[in-house]
C-alpha cells in the first residue's frame, strides 16, 4: 500500500521552497519596517477560546473544528483541545495571559503559521493551510485601520501582486448591528422560504451572513434591501469616514462593498477583504477588520484592536504564475577521480564548511563524468577535482561551471579562491 497524506493537506517540496522563502523574507522585512514584532503561539488551544470568539453559529465552529483526543479528555476531565482554525483569538489570549493589558497595552504583533479547518477541499481551500497576519492591540485610532490596510496592500505590491481588489465595509458596533438585523429581519420575513437552505437557518441564527451568500437567489432577494451603512451610529460613521479619508489621502484604492460581512462574530466597524481574479472561486487573499469587543469579552479592559490575515498558499499560487526562483546550489562540488580518495575528500569538505563555504560531494560512487553531471544538476558554481597526482602536490583542479574555465589551485588557498 502506498502511503498518502491526509486530504486537504499539501507537501511543500524542496523545489517549491525558494518561492516560499522569498515570500517569507519579504513578509518579515515589510512587517518589521512597519514596526510589528513577531509572536508565536501554540498550534493547539482550548476549544472554548474559539467558540466564544468566532461565534457558535459560524461555519468554522459548527462544522470545521479539529479536536484532539487524549486519555484524559476521554475521561471528560478537561476542556477540549483543538487545532487552531485562526490566530486572532489565540493572539488575544496571549495578550491577556501575559498581562499586556496592564503593562504595555499598545502592541503591534505579526505571525506566520499553520491553521486547520475541516472544510470541503477544493482549489485554494485546504484543511491545513498557512497564514501570515498582523494584529494591532490597544488602539481605537482610525489610523490603525489605515496602517493595517496599507500594510496588506504594500506587502502584496512588494511581492509583485498589483492586480488585486480591496473591498471595504463597516459592520458598525453591536448597537448598529442590532438595529440593522431587526430591519433586515422585517425586510426578509416574507421571502424566507425562497432563500437557500443555509440562509433559512441563517435567518434565525446569524441574519447578516445572508448578505454574503453566493447563491444567486439569495443575492437577488437581499439585493434591494437598505445597506448597513444607513444604520451606522454617529461614532461608527465618523470612524468609517476617517478610515476612508486616510485611504484616499494615501491613494489606496478601495471599493465600498456593503455586502461584505466577514464570517466571524468578533468584528466591529471596519472590515475588509483583498481578492485576486486569477484564483477562481476561492479568490480571497486577505481578510481582516476591527474587533473592539473581543479583549473585553475575554475579561480584559475595553480595548480597541484591528488586524488581518493572508492565506500563504493562495499568495504562492498567484506568485508561481508570475515568478520563478531558481534554487541556489552549493559553491563547490568536490569530485574524486578514485574511490580511495573519499576520505581525503570528506576532510576537505568539512574544512570548506567550517570556513562557511557551502560544499557537497558524491555519495553514490559515481564515475567522474557522472559526478560532473550531478554538480551541474544541483547548480554548483565550482567543481574541485581531487586526483592522486594533484593531491600529492597539495593541489586540486578547480573548474568554474558557468565559463568552463579550469585552473590548478593550491589546497591551502581553496577557501579563499572560492570566496573571491
Ligand atoms: P479569514 O478570512 O478566515 O480571516 O482568513 C484569512 C485568509 O486565510 C483568507 O483570505 C484566505 O486567503 C486564507 N484562508 C482561509 N481559509 C483557508 C483555507 N481553508 N485554505 C486556504 N486558505 C485559507 C481570519 O482568519 C481572521 N483571523 C483574520 C483577521 C485577523 N481578522 C482580524 N485579524
* pLDDT above 70 (res 75): no
Choice from 272, 309, 313 to test ligand 1 binding pocket (greatest atom count within 8 A of CB): 309
Query: If you take atom 31 of ligand 1, which residue's CA is the nearest one?
Result: 288
Any atom of ligand 1 within 6 Å of the Cβ of 286: yes
Choice from 131, 136, 316 to test ligand 1 binding pocket (greatest atom count within 8 A of CB): 131
Looking at the chain, the whole-number percentage of residues with pLDDT higher than 90 is: 75
Beta bridge partners of 133: 111, 309
Query: If you take atom 8 of ligand 1, which residue's CA is the nearest one?
Result: 311
Q: Phi and psi (nearest 5°) for 290? A: -95, 145
Any atom of ligand 1 within 6 Å of the Cβ of 395: no
Q: How far is ligand 1, taken at its centre, from the CA of residue 251, in Å?
A: 25
Any atom of ligand 1 within 6 Å of the Cβ of 131: yes
Q: What is the pLDDT of residue 356?
A: 96
Q: What is the pLDDT of residue 420?
A: 84
Least confident residue range of 190-194, 237-241, 369-373: 190-194
Query: If you take atom 1 of ligand 1, which residue's CA is the nearest one?
Result: 287
Residue whose entry in the numeric block shows the C-alpha cell 469616514 = 241
Instruction: Give 69's pLDDT tier (boundaries 50, 70, 90).
Output: confident
Q: How far is ligand 1, taken at its centre, from the CA of residue 407, in Å?
A: 55
Closest ligand 1 atom, CA of 60? 3
User: What is the enclosing helix (H) or strand (E) of 329?
Assistant: none
Any atom of ligand 1 within 6 Å of the Cβ of 289: yes
Choice from 263, 311, 318 to test ligand 1 binding pocket (greatest atom count within 8 A of CB): 311
DSSP per position, 336-398: ESSGGGHHHHHHHHHHHHHTT--EEE-SS---HHHHHHHHHHTT-SEEEEE-HHHHHHTEEEE
Any atom of ligand 1 within 6 Å of the Cβ of 85: no
Any atom of ligand 1 within 6 Å of the Cβ of 50: no
Q: How far is ligand 1, taken at its centre, from the CA of residue 383, in Å?
A: 46
Closest ligand 1 atom, CA of 125? 20
The structural domains of the chain, ordered by start, are 17-173+233-322 (3.30.930.10), 332-419 (3.40.50.800)
Q: How far apart are the first and last CA of the chain?
A: 51
The span from the CA of 154 to the CA of 30, in Å, is 8
* pLDDT above 80 (res 226): no
Q: And the C-alpha cell for 116?
A: 486547520
The span from the CA of 93 to the CA of 222, in Å, is 37
Least confident residue range of 170-184, 221-235, 358-372: 221-235
Average pLDDT, stretch 17-24?
96
Average pLDDT, stretch 273-298?
95
Instruction: Give 91's pLDDT tier (boundaries 50, 70, 90).
Output: very high
Any atom of ligand 1 within 6 Å of the Cβ of 135: yes
Q: How far is ligand 1, taken at its centre, from the CA of residue 231, in Å?
A: 27
Amino acid at each position: 500500500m502506498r502511503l498518502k497524506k491526509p486530504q486537504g493537506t499539501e507537501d511543500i517540496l524542496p523545489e517549491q521552497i525558494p518561492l516560499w522563502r522569498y515570500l517569507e523574507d519579504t513578509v518579515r522585512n515589510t512587517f518589521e519596517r512597519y514596526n510589528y514584532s513577531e509572536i508565536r503561539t501554540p498550534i493547539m488551544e482550548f476549544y472554548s477560546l474559539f467558540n466564544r470568539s468566532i461565534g457558535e453559529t459560524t461555519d468554522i465552529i459548527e462544522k470545521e473544528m479539529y479536536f484532539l483526543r487524549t486519555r484524559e479528555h476521554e475521561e471528560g476531565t478537561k476542556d477540549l483541545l483543538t487545532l487552531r482554525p485562526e490566530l486572532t483569538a489565540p493572539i488575544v489570549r496571549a495578550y491577556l495571559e501575559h498581562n499586556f493589558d496592564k503593562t504595555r497595552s499598545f502592541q503591534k504583533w505579526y505571525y506566520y503559521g499553520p491553521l486547520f479547518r475541516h472544510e470541503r477541499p477544493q482549489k485554494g481551500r485546504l484543511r491545513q493551510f498557512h497564514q501570515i497576519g498582523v494584529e494591532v492591540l490597544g488602539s481605537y485610532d482610525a489610523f490603525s485601520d489605515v496602517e493595517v490596510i496599507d500594510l496588506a496592500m504594500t506587502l502584496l505590491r512588494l511581492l509583485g501582486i498589483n492586480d488585486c481588489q480591496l473591498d471595504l465595509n463597516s459592520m458598525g458596533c453591536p448597537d448598529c448591528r442590532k438595529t440593522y438585523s431587526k430591519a433586515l429581519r422585517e425586510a426578509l420575513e416574507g421571502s424566507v422560504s425562497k432563500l437557500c437552505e443555509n440562509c433559512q437557518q441563517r435567518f434565525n441564527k446569524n441574519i447578516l451572513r445572508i448578505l454574503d451568500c453566493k447563491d444567486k437567489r439569495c443575492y437577488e432577494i437581499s439585493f434591494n434591501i437598505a445597506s448597513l451603512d444607513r444604520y451606522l451610529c454617529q461614532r461608527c460613521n465618523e470612524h468609517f469616514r476617517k478610515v476612508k479619508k486616510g485611504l484616499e489621502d494615501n491613494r489606496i484604492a478601495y471599493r465600498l462593498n456593503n455586502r461584505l460581512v466577514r464570517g466571524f462574530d468578533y468584528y466591529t466597524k471596519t472590515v475588509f477583504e483583498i481578492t485576486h481574479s486569477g484564483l477562481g472561486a476561492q479568490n480571497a487573499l486577505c481578510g481582516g477588520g476591527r474587533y473592539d469587543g473581543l479583549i473585553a469579552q475575554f475579561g480584559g479592559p475595553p480595548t480597541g484592536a484591528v488586524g488581518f490575515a493572508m492565506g500563504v498558499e493562495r499568495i504562492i499560487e498567484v506568485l508561481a504564475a508570475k515568478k520563478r526562483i531558481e534554487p541556489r546550489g552549493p559553491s563547490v562540488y568536490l569530485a574524486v577521480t578514485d574511490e580511495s580518495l573519499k576520505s581525503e575528500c570528506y576532510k576537505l569538505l568539512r574544512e570548506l564548511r567550517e570556513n562557511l563555504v557551502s560544499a557537497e560531494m558524491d555519495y553514490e560512487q559515481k564515475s567522474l563524468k557522472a559526478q560532473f553531471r550531478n554538480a551541474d544538476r544541483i547548480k554548483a558554481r565550482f567543481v574541485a577535482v581531487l586526483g592522486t597526482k594533484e593531491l600529492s602536490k597539495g593541489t586540486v583542479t578547480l573548474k568554474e561551471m558557468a565559463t568552463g574555465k579550469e585552473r590548478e589551485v593550491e589546497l591551502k588557498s581553496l577557501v579563499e579562491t572560492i570566496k573571491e
